[in-house]
Structures are given as C-alpha cells and as structure tokens.
C-alpha cells in the first residue's frame, strides 16, 4: 500500500464509513453485552437475508431496496417473536429461534430466484469499498440517530434493563424502552450490512464491548470504549484488507475476535492468565 491509498475517494469513503459504523455498533454493543442478548442479535442479523432478497425481487437491485427489505424483515421477526411470546405459552427466545430460522430458510430459497448473485455477495459478506455518497450519508444519519437516542435515553434504558420495577415506579415506560432498544439494534444491524454483511454483522455488535468488558465495569466506559474500539478496528481493517487484498468485513470481525482473545488472556484483572497466577501464588515466589 502506498500513500495513494488515502488519495482515492472510495478509500476515503470506506475509512469514514468504517469509523462511523464501527463507533455506532461498538457503542451499542455495550447494551448487547450488559443485556446478554447476543443470541437475539444473531437471530435478527440472519433475519435480514430474506428481507434483502424480497426487496430486490420487488424493486430491483438497489441499495435502497435491499436496505428497506432488510429493515422490514428484521422488524417483523423481532416484533413477531415478542407477539408470539405474549400471546402463547412459548417464550421469546423459542419464538425468535423459530421465526429467524424460518425466515433465513426462506431467504436461502429466494436467493435462487435472484440473477444478481455476484453483487448480492456484497450484502452477505460486506463491501465497504463500494459505498456511494448516498450510502455514506445514510450511514452518517443512522449512526447519529442511534448514538443520539442511546445517549439521551441512557438512564431510563439502563433502569429498564436492570431495575424494571424501579423504572416503572419512576414513570419510565419500561416496555417502550425495550422496544426502542430493539429498534435501534435493528437499525445498527442494517447500517452495518455494506460494511460486514448480514452474515458477519453479529461480530461488530458484540465483540467491541465484550473486549472492553474484560477491563472495565462502568457502563459508560463500556459504551464509549466499545465505540472507540469498534471505530479504530474498522479503520485498521480497511487499511489491512487493502494490503492483503481480502474482504474488509471479514478482516473487521477477525480483528475484533483477536482483540477479544487478547483481552481474555491478558486482562490484568479478569484475564485467564491472571486467574491462573492467582490460583498458584507460589509460582510468583519461586
């Protein structure tokens, strides 16, 4: 890679989009980790596939059709699972598992009806270098919306997650807050489609805060630390993938996985190596 890399408009867009999407998803990953809802997010990410396929079949292969289709599909699966859990004996996780696997299966079948198989790979695995000006503006506006709402509603959201009875006694609409968090999660997932694709989007919405969680207990540090780590990792992945000539989305998630592994092993307070040393203190005195 030469300095010409930073002179190309599409690389500049990719770096900016990586920073925006990485920060928004990394910030939101703090809520995912605290709520222990990674499996729910994974289910929603797979539910994007049939929406993309239907959107393309109805309106043609455009970024807008795929975006809207993915958004509608994720909302239908997420809210559908809530509806089923509230109107039957089935719990939310079971309902979500049934709905998302059914939706994903439908998406796999629909893929055979779409002629643009090569281009569709960008939505499955990401292609941040292919962003248009419109895509960049959409990423900016949605990231700003997600971050703004999460920051403004941080206290009622945290109360709703961990002290719902206290939140209700203070006039916080707990159910509305939980729906709001689900909606913001779906928006972040859809925004990350062209960066990492629907197959890998789960990593960007879990790994940043999970890594920071090895070092910090404060929710605020978890949110902002996850955001910064997500942004820096995405930017580094754009540059590294250019050097290696591999998919940027895969590099983003792989780097996040390596960062988590490093934190898991080497965290001075919660790392596995620290735990082993504390269990065998005689090794330090030998």
Share of the chain above pLDDT 90, in %: 21
Two tokens at 185?
């999660």
**The predicted structure's pLDDT at residue 61:** 67
pLDDT of residue 236 exceeding 80, the answer is: yes
pLDDT tens for each residue of 141-154: 888 999 999 999 99
pTM for this one?
A: 0.83
Q: Domain coordinates of the chain in residue numbers?
A: 3-285
pLDDT tens for each residue of 13-54: 888 888 999 999 999 999 988 888 777 887 788 788 888 888
**The predicted structure's pLDDT at residue 257:** 93
Two tokens at 222?
């978890």
In angstroms, the first-to-last Cα distance of the chain is 48
**From residue 179, how far is each of 83, 173, 267 by CA, in Å?**
12, 10, 34
CATH 1.10.3470.10 assigned to 3-285:
yes
Angle, helices 133-152 vs 174-191, to 10°: value is 160
Q: Which residues contact 168 (CB under 8 A, 6 or more apart)?
A: 174
Q: Predicted confidence band at 285 (pLDDT cuts at 50, 70, 90)? A: low
* pLDDT (mean) for 172-194: 85
């Amino acid at each position: 890679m030469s300095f010409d890399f930073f002179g190309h408009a599409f690389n500049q867009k990719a770096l900016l989009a990586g920073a925006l999407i990485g920060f928004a998803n990394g910030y939101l990953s703090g809520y995912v980790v605290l709520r222990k809802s990674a499996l729910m997010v994974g289910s929603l990410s797979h539910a994007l596939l049939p929406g993309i396929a239907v959107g393309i079949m109805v309106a043609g292969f455009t970024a807008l059709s795929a975006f809207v289709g993915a958004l509608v599909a994720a909302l239908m699966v997420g809210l559908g699972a809530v509806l089923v859990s509230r109107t039957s004996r089935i719990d939310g996780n079971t309902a979500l598992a049934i709905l998302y696997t059914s939706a994903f299966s439908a998406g796999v079948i629909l893929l055979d009806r779409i002629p643009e198989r090569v281009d569709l790979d960008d939505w499955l695995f990401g292609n941040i270098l292919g962003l248009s000006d419109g895509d960049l503006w959409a990423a900016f506006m949605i990231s700003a919306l997600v971050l703004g709402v999460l920051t403004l509603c941080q206290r009622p959201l945290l109360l709703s997650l961990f002290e719902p009875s206290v939140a209700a006694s203070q006039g916080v609409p707990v159910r509305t807050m939980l729906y709001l968090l689900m909606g913001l999660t779906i928006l972040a997932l859809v925004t990350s489609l062209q960066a990492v694709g629907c197959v890998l989007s789960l990593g960007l919405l879990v790994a940043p805060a999970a890594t920071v969680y090895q070092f910090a207990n404060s929710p605020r540090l978890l949110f902002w630390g996850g955001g910064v780590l997500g942004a820096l990792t995405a930017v580094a992945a754009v540059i590294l993938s250019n050097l290696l000539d591999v998919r940027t989305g895969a590099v983003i998630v792989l780097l996040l996985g390596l960062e988590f592994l490093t934190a898991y092993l080497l965290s001075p307070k919660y790392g596995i190596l620290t735990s082993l040393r504390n269990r065998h203190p005689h090794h330090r005195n030998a």
